[in-house]
Chains A and B, each alone.
Chain A
Amino acid sequence: MLDVLQNLALGFSVALSPPVLFYAFVGCVIGTLVGVLPGVGPLAGISLLLPATFGMDATRAIVMLAGIYYGAMYGGSTTSILMRIPGEAASVMTCIDGYAMARKGRAGAALAIAAVGSYIAGTASVVALMVMAPPLARVALRFGPPEQLALLLLGLLVLAYMSSGSMLKALAMAALGLLLGTIGIDQMTGYMRYVYGVVELGDGLGVVPVAVGLFGVAEILATAGAPTPPAVIKPRLSELLPSREEWRQSTWPIARGTVLGFLIGILPGSAHIIASFVSYAVEKRVSRRPQDFGHGAVAGVAGPESANNSATSGAFVPMLALGVPSGPIPAVMLAALMVHGVAPGPLLIGNQPALFWGFIASMYVGNVMLLILNLPLVGLFVNILRVPYPYLYPAVLVFSILGVYAVNGSVVDVWIMLLMGVLGYVLRKLDFETAPIVLGVVLAPLIELSLRQSLAMSDGRYAIFVEHRIAAALLVFGLGLVLLNLYTFARRRLDWRARMALADKGDSS
C-alpha cells in the first residue's frame, strides 16, 4: 500500500506540473464540447485530435486524449437531458428519464446529478484502476469467445428480467435490434447481408444514427405537431441544483452504477454502452417506484451516467496493464502511446512509472476539472429550454443531421437516422420501448462473432460452453433468471385467476 501511495505521489508531481495540467484542461474542454454535440462522440474526437498530439511527449499526449475521452462522457448527458438527443451512444438511457425531468422543470437538477454522479464514478473507478489493474486485467484475459458470448447473453437476459414493462414486447424489440445489427458484411465469411448494393451498409448500421433517430427524431415527430407543443421552460436559479430528496434518491444508484460500470468496462466490447443499459435496468428493478422510470426518475439518470463514466476507467485496465485494448477508443489511445514509442503492457508500470502514475493522477485531476467546468455550465445549458419550440426543434434537427453526418461523412447515415426516426415514432405510438433496439444493434455483431468463434474453437461442440467454467457459471445464472421470471409470471397468472374467482364469487352472492 505504501508503494501505491509513493507511486501516486510521483504521479501527482507529474499531473500537477503546469504543462500536463494545461493539456488535461484542454482535453477536458474539447471532450465536453465533443460530448455535447450529438454524433461527434469520443472516438471521433480522439481520432481527429490524434495527429495534434504527435509533437507532444507521451505523458502529455495520453493525458490530453484521456481528457477528451472522459470529457465526452460528461458532456454526452447534456443534449440527452435537454433535447432527448444522445450526445453519444452511452447516453441513450439518460435520454429517457433525464428528458422527462427536464420537461418537469428539473433539467438543472438532472444535469447536476449527472455531473456529480460522473465525478464520483470517475474518481472511485480511478482508485479501483490503481489498486486492481493487474489482477483484474488477468481475469479479463481469461475471457475468450465462449465467456464473452455467455456474458452477452446474460446481459440480454438481465435486461429482459429487469424490464418492468411487457417482457414480450421488450424481447421483440431486442430481436428486432439484433436483426438490424446483422446488416452488413458477415465478419467470418465476408458475405454481404441485406445491403442492397449500398456500399456504406457494408459496415453495418451505426449506433449513432440509430440512437439519434429512435430518440431525437422520433421525439420531434411526435411532439412538434402535437395540439399542445412542449411549453417553454424558464428555470429559476433556485431550481438549478437538486433538492435534498433528489440527492438522497441518487446516492445508491451512483454507488451501484460505479461498481457495475467498472466491472463491465474491463471486459471487451462496447462496454460503456452496455454498462449504462444494465445500470438502468438494475435501477428500475430495485426501485420501490419502478413506475416512475420513464417519467423522470432520478435514479434513471444517476445510475447510467455513473456507470458509463466508471466504465471509461475500467476500459483502461486491460489497455494499461496488458496492452490489450477492450474497445475502439482504448485501441486508438493504445496506438497513440505506440506512436510515442511507449509499449503498454505488464512492463509499463515498471519501465515508465512517471507515465503510468502521471496518467492515473491526471484522471483524478481531470475529474475535478470536469466537475468545476460542468456545474457552472448547468445554468448556461438549461437556458436552451427557454427557446420557443418552433425554433428549438429545427435547431435540434440540424444538430442531429450534422452530428450523424459527421461520424462517417455519409448521407446514408442521415437516411438511416430518418428511417429510424419514423420507426421510433410509430413504435412509440404503439407503446414499445425503443432502447432494446439500440442495445440489439450494439450486441448483434459481438454475439454472432463470439458464438461462431466458440464453435470454431471446439469443432462445432456446444459442450465448450459447459467446459469453460466462467461461461458455464454465467449461463447457469442466466438460466436461473429465466426460471425466476417464469415463476413470477406463473404466480401472477394464478393471482389473476384467484382474483377473478373471488370477483365471480362476489357477483354471485
Chain B
Amino acid sequence: MSVDRISGIGLAVLALLVLEETWRQRLPLGSVASPGPAYFPGLLAVLLLAAGLAMAALGGGPRVSTLDWREWRHGVAIFAACAFCALALERLGYRLTIFVALGFLVGVVERKSPAATLVFAAALALGTFWLFDTLLRVPLPRGSLGF
C-alpha cells in the first residue's frame, strides 16, 4: 500500500474519532446561523475526513514497506528519557531529573565513558538550573528532596 493511501486512511479514521468524541461529549452543535461549541470542530473533522478520503483514493507516494524505520530503537530510548523527565520533574526536582535523564542518554544510549557522562550530565543539569532559576528567575521545580 502506498504512503499517501495509508496516511489518508489514518487521517480519515482520526476525523471519525473526533466526530464520535464530539457526539460522545454532548457538545451542542448549534445551527448554521448560531454555531455551537461542536460546530467548528465538527466542520473541521468533516474537512479532514474529506481530505483523508481524497488522499486514500488518489494514492501516490512510495510504498509503505520501502520506508526506513531503522532508528526506531533510538527513538524509543529518547522518548523514554523525555517521558521520565515529564513524570519525575516535579517529584524529583529539575536537577536530579535532568542529571538522570542525561546520564541515561549519554552513558547508556550513546555509550560514552562514565567520567564524560558524569561531568556532562552534572554540568548541564546544574548549569541550566543556575542560568534559568537563579539568574533569569524562571522558577524550576525542586522536588521533595530539594533538588
Contacts and interface: CB of A to CB of B under 8 A. Distances in A.
Interface of A: 33-34, 37, 40, 44, 48, 168-169, 171-172, 175-176, 178-179, 182, 186, 188-189, 191, 193-194, 217, 220-227, 390-391, 393-395, 397-399, 401-402, 405-406, 409, 411, 414-415, 418, 421-422, 425, 429-432, 444, 447-448, 451-452, 455-456, 459-461
Contacts of B82: 217, 397, 401, 414, 418, 421
| Residue among B35, B81, B87 facing the most chain A CB atoms (10 A cut-off) | B35
Q: Which 7 A-B pairs have the closest CB atoms?
A: A225-B74, A460-B33, A225-B71, A186-B37, A390-B110, A172-B51, A191-B37
A178 B79 CA distance: 26
Given A176-B11, A194-B21, A393-B105, 20 more contacts: A172-B52, A175-B44, A179-B41, A182-B40, A182-B44, A191-B28, A193-B25, A221-B74, A390-B106, A394-B101, A394-B110, A401-B82, A402-B140, A406-B140, A409-B139, A411-B87, A414-B89, A418-B86, A444-B40, A455-B35
B106 A455 contact: no
Contacts of B51: 168, 171-172, 175
B43 to A, nearest CB: 9
| Residue among B58, B78, B82 facing the most chain A CB atoms (10 A cut-off) | B82
Contacts of B61: 430-431
Contacts of A448: 40
Interface string B20-60: 01000101100111111110110011011001101100100
Given A175-B47, A390-B112, A455-B33, A405 B140 contact: yes
B78 A179 contact: no
Interface in B59-112: 61, 67, 69-75, 78-79, 81-83, 85-87, 89-90, 94, 98, 101-102, 105-106, 110, 112
A404 B85 CA distance: 12
A172 B44 contact: no
Contacts of A409: 139
Interface of B: 3-4, 6-7, 11, 14, 18, 21, 25, 27-28, 31-38, 40-41, 44-45, 47-48, 51-52, 54-55, 58, 61, 67, 69-75, 78-79, 81-83, 85-87, 89-90, 94, 98, 101-102, 105-106, 110, 112, 120, 124-125, 128, 132, 136-140
A486 to B, nearest CB: 14
Contacts of B4: 169
Contact of A455 (B7, B34, B70): B34
A233 B45 CA distance: 44
B98 A398 contact: yes
Nearest to A422: B79
Contacts of A227: 70-71
A452 B138 CA distance: 38
Contacts of B83: 418
A171 B120 CA distance: 43
A430 B89 contact: no
| Residue among B54, B90, B124, B138 facing the most chain A CB atoms (10 A cut-off) | B138
B51 to A, nearest CB: 4
B129 to A, nearest CB: 9
The B interface, classified by DSSP as helix, strand, loop or mixed, is helix
A34 B81 CA distance: 26
A48 B137 contact: yes
A134 to B, nearest CB: 36
Nearest to B67: A429
8 contacts: A179-B18, A182-B44, A194-B25, A397-B81, A397-B105, A398-B98, A411-B90, A447-B40
A205 to B, nearest CB: 13
A401 B74 CA distance: 18
Nearest to A397: B82
Contacts of A44: 138
A398 B75 contact: no
Contact of B136 (A40, A169, A397, A422): A40
A191 B69 contact: no
Nearest to A188: B37
Contacts of B32: 460
Nearest to B69: A429
Contacts of A425: 75
Nearest to A45: B136
